[in-house]
Structure 1
Amino acid sequence: MPRAVVALVVLALVGMLRSAAVADPLKEGRDLYKAGKYAEAATKLEQATREDPGNAKAWWQLNFAYNKLERYADALRAAETAGRIDPTYGFASEPGKYGETVARLQKKAGSSRRGALDRPLLEKPRPSEPPLDNSLVRQLSSSGVYVEPGLNIDKDRLASVIRELRPTRVMFLAFNNKAGSASLTREADRVRSYFGISDGYVIVCSRAGVAASSKSLNRDTLRELTRQVAPQMEGGDFTGGLERLARGLVATRQAQTARTRTTAATVVGGMGVLVFGWVLSRRIRHKRTMTARRAAVDQARSEIISQMNYLEDSLSAAPAAMAGTVKQARLDAGAKLDEASRLIVRARSEYDLTRAQRLLDEASACIARGRDALEGKTPSDSRGADRRGSPPVYPQARVASGPDTDWQAVPDSERGVCFFCSRPSLLSELTPVTVSLEGDTQRVLACADDYQRIKSGEPPSIRAFQRGGRYVPWYADDEYDPYRDYYSRGYGDRSLLSDLVTLALIDRMFWDWRTPSWTWGGGHHGGWDGYTFWPDHHHWQDYHVERAASSSFNHDRSDGAGTDFLGGGFHDGDLDSAGTDFLGSDDS
């Protein structure tokens, strides 16, 4: 989820920009020693002596680790180093402990003192390489500076530079010979490796050259920095040249680190912006979707309330035998409505609104059951009610058209189209019904199947096509003509719900078909007055006038019945004993 992605980005940014906590290798080494992990303890304690060569306690503890590893010469060296640093032996548990330990180690080491520490110091140096002896190690361990006699170099000034540049570790070595840069480079690497300097610098010079060793800077950078100070040292200013080189090494590394952090911050910041934009766009889309869904559900809720009020107002006129049924239907609808209302208020997702809409559909079915009771219908009059108590389905109207009908031969004054499914029909097969979209009530014509669905309490759908990111109803789609395409596209199979959407998805502009701001579909343009799918169309009006004037007009057939649906409103003048309206007399 979006929250998890943002958390990962923040953690990455913090991890890349903050400094790592400084560990205590001496304490870690002691803990490892107590745990019996002597090799790991020796490694940590060696690190402690490299980071703080003047720490007598670190050297003293290291001697015990070496002793456990049977590196007796190394252990003796570590103990002696601790004694030289602190002649009072304050690091030992008791005054006599130091002497006993050294005597025991001397006995174990015997005549051979070639331990891991001794070997690189006692090896015979290669030609032109300065010697690396015990004196060198001691001086580097204590002050970080080793200068052979005969050189005019200020050791105290270099030691001050070392302290100033901490925590970056720097060591200076100056040899009174004419070793070249190649030999000095190897020596610098050997000293840095011996002291385990991973984030620091070893600078080595002779009368003939200067070199630096580092793991944090590449060889080209090191060569360029040494080249910059070479003239100064060649002129005899060794102290100034070494100081300048040390400061240049540290400053270069800091600049590289700053650039790296800036780049990392830019990358992570860019990622953060992208993630934020993605999360924001998802929230905007979610909000828009929720707003549209909530509006449709709120409209359905208002219509349910309106129909419940109708049941309440009509209860006194209900037959005595059905009054209880009507009252119970209203109570059931009210319970569903209350539950749906609570869901709507707390809705945080489309799933919540879908549950609310399902409850409103069930409430609508309860209301339909109450209306049937008001009209005197019983369950035996229908094909059966579903488990939610849906009202009975009304008998189908007389059907005379079908896939084989030649609509070119049927006069415009005798043919129409179902507003909902776009089924081409004879006017005698269509029934007026009332629908509402966001409070805008319209009367339209429905085929027998859609009429029965609406009477049973199902929410209506309309055939529409996606054009330019919105749904265009069939009668405004230029590529669709129901007389030509309805059966050829397989829409005659009522089990297929192809291209059917809820009315709430249709833009309000398409509800004005008397003076449309859009173009009629099916390729009909010019002065054409549109398909006959609403009762106010002159073809429908003429059709009923002719039937009213003929002797074949039969009130019992109710072919011109109208049904109010989804908050169309009910008035006393709208209702007759069968719940139908003729000749467009519905005032809703």
Structure 2
Amino acid sequence: MASRRCFLCIRASLISLVLLAALPLPGIARAEAAGHAGMRPNRIAQAARPTRDPFSIAQRTAPGGESSLAINEEAVVQGLQRENVLVDEGITRLTAGDERALEAFAADGRPRLKILVLAVEPTGGRASFTLNLHRYLSLGETALVVVTPEGVSAHSEAISRERMQRLTDEAAPQFALSWRQGIEHLGNGIRAEVRARSVRTRAVILALALVVALLLSWRAYRRRRELERLLAEARGRAADLAQALHEAETDVRLSEDPRVKEYYAQASQRFVETSAALEKAVTLADARHALALAQEAERLLQCARNPTAAPDDPPGDPAGAEEMPACFFCSRPASEGVLEPSTLDVQGRRRRVLACRACTEELRQGRMPRVRVVHDGGNEVPWFRSSTYDPRRDWTRR
């Protein structure tokens, strides 16, 4: 019987020890209050704030480096990383209902809000503290709102500092009525500003896209009109050329001058090439090439009709640009622009050559365009005397 009473006493002692171990010590009860019933989880406990210094987040390393934050700053950083609303212990201007409403308000909308309510003014100024904390947390466009009894500051990369200052100034009267009302007024202003900026950005992008589309459409329209003009001119010349070749056929057959027959044969060949080029012409380069061939055919037919006034060069001379007609002076090929026949004196002889519009304009103004000179076999020669120069390949080279 005595042993049973002893066992019961020992068991009672063990139970008492377990219950004492489970109870929190008075010194740490306040530090753990955030995790217990009756305390708000987004409140900074007094035990997390040293009494010697106010908040001061400045001149510290990034989160990945060695931290020099004070204990209270660590509480602020860690709290804002977990929550959208963090309220310093001792704040009476916000109720538990206000904090819950602000938590929902901060998460509902763009940009998101991080709201910090402090009981003391940060060292170095509230604005500097807000900017440094925003950068330290890498919040980007998320707006950080810091409220103290002295006033309110906010920062977001989506809004300029000047505009944010105006928004906080506009919200100041609302803070005088209610901190919750002031925070919501400022948050709504920030979100309205971001939406307006987004609308302006989209409007600018849309306007630029519209301008680009109009410019491209205008360019395409002008190119289409130029293509139609060149094709119409080339077809007209080809039709006239067909008639002229038919009319000159008898005279050429009766002529005994071999030059007449040679020029007529080349003109006929150019006419065939013109017709083939017109059938497959779909680009400006194709149309210019067809027109240049028609112009060359007209020149050769004119030489066949009057061989004594023809150029001194024999048929097929490089100046005639047999493979690809080119400007006699600058060597611009027909694929790069329209060529026009021109007559000039070369060493006392009248000579008909093809010239681009720029060189033709110089001739009309009484100036002789410079003939392009190229290197061939160690010597400088006119481009049409070179055995290796090809206007289509080498014209753009300088």
TM-score using structure 2 length? 0.52
8 Å contact kept, 1:343–1:356: no
Matches within 5 A, 1:142-541: 142-151=82-91, 152-153=94-95, 154-166=98-110, 168-177=111-120, 179=121, 183-235=125-177, 237-308=178-249, 310=250, 337-347=271-281, 348-359=286-297, 361-362=299-300, 387-388=314-315, 495=350
> Partners of 1:340 and 1:140 in 2: how far apart?
79
CA contact (8 A) 1:217 1:253 kept: yes
Cα deviation 1:435-487 (Å, max 9, x = unaligned): xxxxxxxxxxxxxxxxxxxxxxxx99899xxxxxxxxxxxxxxxxxxxxxxxx
- In structure 2, relative to structure 1, the CA distance for the partners of 1:271 and 1:148 (3 Å cut) is same
Report the equivalent of 1:449: none
Q: CA-to-partner distance for each residue in 1:208-244, whole Å, 9 max, x for gaps?
A: 3111122332333222212222222222x22232122
State the secondary structure of the residue aligned to 1:121: coil
Give, in whole Å, the separation in 1 of the partners of 2:232 and 2:62: 76
Asked if the contact 2:140–2:156 (Cα under 8 Å) also holds between the matched residues in 1, the reply is yes
**Partner Cα separation in structure 2 for residue 298 and residue 255 of structure 1:** 63
Distance in 1 between residues matched to 2:349 and 2:312, nearest whole Å: 21
Structure 1: distance between partners of 2:275 and 2:132: 80
Judge conservation of contact 1:201–1:213 (CA < 8 Å) in 2: yes
Q: Distance in 2 between matches of 1:226 and 1:332?
A: 86
Structure with the greater alpha carbon radius of gyration: 1
Cα separation, 2, equivalents of 1:211 and 1:384: 88
Unaligned runs of 5+ in 2: 1-34, 36-59, 317-339, 356-398
Match of 1:107 in 2: none
Sequence identity percentage: 21
* Contact 1:181 1:209 (8 Å CA) reproduced: no
Q: What CA deviation, in whole Å up to 9, does each residue of 1:489-537 have, x standing for no partner?
A: x9xx764889x9xxxxxxxxxxxxxxxxxxxxxxxxxxxxxxxxxxxxx
The answer as to 2:76 corresponding to 1:136 is yes
Instruction: Kindly state the Cα deviation for residue 327 of structure 1 after the two structures are TM-superposed.
Output: 11
Q: Secondary structure at the match of 2:139?
A: coil
- Give the distance between the partners of 2:352 and 2:272, measured in 1 at CA: 31
- Give the aligned partner of residue 10 of structure 2: none
Q: CA RMSD in A?
A: 4.9
Amino acid at match of 2:67: R
- The change in CA–CA distance for 1:338 and 1:364 in structure 2 (over 3 A counts) is farther
Displacement over 6 Å in runs of 4+: 326-333, 363-369, 383-386, 459-463
C-alpha distance in structure 2 between counterparts of 1:495 and 1:365, whole Å? 12
Of the candidates 69, 77, 97, which is equivalent to residue 121 of structure 1? 69
Distance in 2 (alpha carbons) for counterparts of 1:140 and 1:329: 92
Q: Does the 8 A contact of 1:332 with 1:366 survive in 2? A: no
CA gap of 1:165–1:290, structure 2 versus 1, over 3 A, is same
What is the TM-score with the length of structure 1 in the denominator?
A: 0.37
Distance 1:342 1:155 in 2: 83
Tell me if structure 2 keeps the 8 A contact 1:204–1:212: yes
Following superposition, the deviation at residue 329 of structure 1 comes to 10
- Contact in 2 for aligned 1:145/1:172 (Cα 8 Å): yes
Matched residue of 2:113: which SS? strand
The residue number in structure 2 matching 1:102 is none
